[in-house]
Amino acid sequence: MAGSGFSRREFLGGAIAATALFSVVPRQALGGPGRKAPSDVLTRAIIGPGGRGGGFVRQNTPGETPFVLAVCDVDAGRLQGALHRAGSPCEGYTDFRRVMDRKDVDVVYIATPPHWHALISIAAAQAGKDIYCEKPMTKFIAEGRAVANTVRRYRRIFQVGTFGRFGVGSNDRTYKTLASGVVQGSGPIIRMTPNWKVREWSGHLNDKPRPVPPNLDYNMWLGPAPYKPYFPHHVHGSFRGYWDYDGGGLADMGQHYLDGPQCHLAKDDTSPVEIEASAPRPQHPYAVQLWGWVTLKYADGTTLIFQSNEWGDPCPLEERGLPTLTPEQEQIVAAVPDTPRKYGSGEQGFEEAVKLRKECAGNAGVSHRCACLMHLANIAIRMGRKLHYDPDKEQFIGDDEANRLAYQPMRAPWHLPA
């Protein structure tokens, strides 16, 4: 039952133990040297097995317990390719909801475009599946909170596919200083200049509509996104350059770059309160374009500068480190406890967390806050003015226009849970 916390693996393990003395069980059901029992195998379904998702499709080995049970894609060519890679008894689907009906699937790997991430994650949690979701976690802010709430309600294990937090310690001086609360108004200012892929994932402005390929269920590909005519550049990878489906290079790469620093800066439970961006005006309403820099300031003064070096002048804000602390403040910092261990953010760490029912490092709550950094930055780029944000209510203060980008409507019949 979804949300019961009693998994298929636990049931099978208990059933085998209870019947072992009273029946003849095939050797493959009991496991042994070089062979896993079915109760030890995490069965998986992959939603979106083309591109990045193809890496989650492994071949089922004849004679051993199959673990890739389902693949789902709205592109018939990609679906057939995934079925061929997985082999029997993997089954193919074009509607992810049919995958959720399967009681024999433990884990769902989601590698669709981001405008589908939230709805599929929510459906998986409600169906009692654990979830590995590619980055960015969601397309807009309200989706992330809905996912985090649903994952918690149904007691599922959730991991975003980023290695940014793996190996990042949250027990060092910076973390403890900022977690202690002794720094107010004078937190560090940090400039970040990685490859945000700004030009690579800029959208095309003058493409002409084309006929939908016969192998693509375009209406299902769009799903909750607004209906627009079919443009080849809008799907299969290059979708990243269009606001309806993603958020450009910043959303593509941001969760990689920001997950670790967010932990290091003790900001897993909050978001910036002021956001300002430098970008061309007016911004295109549909295609993601260039931007220069974004500043995101937290309530304690900690500030992140995203610098693209692709447009305009660099942000004039100067970097700074932590302030000098008094002896009394040092004592407060020293008393901050170490954070408990969480499991690593790669695929292997995720599966270990699933088996032990332990929270992942990149769980839904902290990954939502990380995704918010990209969403807030992109909204500032689109709005062209300084924004003021309430990190507890997760809404902009006195700015209905900005809030419409944080809480975007979905195309019927798709919607977030009430």
Please write the tens of the pLDDT for every residue from 336-366. 988 777 777 678 889 999 999 999 988 999 9
- Per-residue confidence at 331, pLDDT binned at 50, 70, 90? very high
Query: What does the pLDDT average to over 302-322?
Result: 97
* Confidence (pTM): 0.89
Residue 3 has pLDDT above 80, yes or no: no
Q: What is the pLDDT of residue 10?
A: 41
The residue that leads in pLDDT, 37 or 250, is 250
Q: How many CB atoms lie within 10 A of CB 320?
A: 13
The residue that leads in pLDDT, 290 or 32, is 290
Q: From 237, 312, 300, 313, select the one nearest 269 (Cα to Cα).
A: 300
Q: What is the pLDDT of residue 169?
A: 56
Q: What is the pLDDT of residue 19?
A: 34
Query: What does the pLDDT average to over 150-177?
Result: 83
The residue that leads in pLDDT, 43 or 26, is 43
Q: What is the pLDDT of residue 170?
A: 60
- Per-residue confidence at 160, pLDDT binned at 50, 70, 90? very high
- Per-residue confidence at 38, pLDDT binned at 50, 70, 90? low
Query: What does the pLDDT average to over 379-397?
Result: 98
Q: What is the pLDDT of residue 30?
A: 41
Query: What does the pLDDT average to over 149-176?
Result: 83
CB 317 within 8 A of CB 305: yes
The model's pLDDT over 206-221, given as tens digits with 9 standing for 90+, comes to 899 999 999 999 999 9
Alpha carbons 404 and 394: distance in angstroms, whole number: 12
Alpha carbons 346 and 360: distance in angstroms, whole number: 10
The model's pLDDT over 228-272, given as tens digits with 9 standing for 90+, comes to 999 999 999 899 999 999 999 999 999 999 998 999 999 999 999
Please report, rounded to a whole number, the percentage of residues in the chain having pLDDT higher than 90: 82
Alpha carbons 358 and 355: distance in angstroms, whole number: 8
Domains in the chain, CATH or no CATH each:
8-161 (3.40.50.720), 173-203+231-337+363-406 (3.30.360)
SS (H, E, C) the chain: CCCCCCCHHHHHHHHHHHHCCCCCCCHHHHCECCECCHHHCCCEEEECCCHHHHHHCCCCCCCCCCCEEEEECCEHHHHHHHHHHHCCCCEEECCHHHHHCCCCCCEEEECCCHHHHHHHHHHHHHCCCEEEEECCCCCCHHHHHHHHHHHHHCCCCEEEECCCCCCCCCCCHHHHHHHHCCCCCCCCEEEECCCCCCCCCCCCCCCCCCCCCCCECHHHHHCCCCCCCCCHHHCCCHHHHECCCCCHHHHHHHHHHHHHHHHHCCCCCCCCCEEEEECCCCCCCCECCCCCEEEEECCCCCEEEEECCCCCCCCCCCCECCCCCCHHHHHHHHCCCCCCCCECCCHHHHHHHHHHCCCECCCHHHHHHHHHHHHHHHHHHHHCCCEEEECCCCEECCCHHHHHHHCCCCCCCCCCCC
Residue 105 has pLDDT above 90, yes or no: yes
Query: What does the pLDDT average to over 379-399?
Result: 98
Residue 135 has pLDDT above 80, yes or no: yes
- Per-residue confidence at 15, pLDDT binned at 50, 70, 90? very low
Q: What is the pLDDT of residue 348?
A: 84
Residue 33 has pLDDT above 60, yes or no: no
Q: Is the dihedral of CA 38, 44, 50, 56 positive or negative?
A: negative
Q: What is the pLDDT of residue 13?
A: 42
Residue 165 has pLDDT above 80, yes or no: no
Mean pLDDT of the chain: 90
Q: What is the pLDDT of residue 403?
A: 98
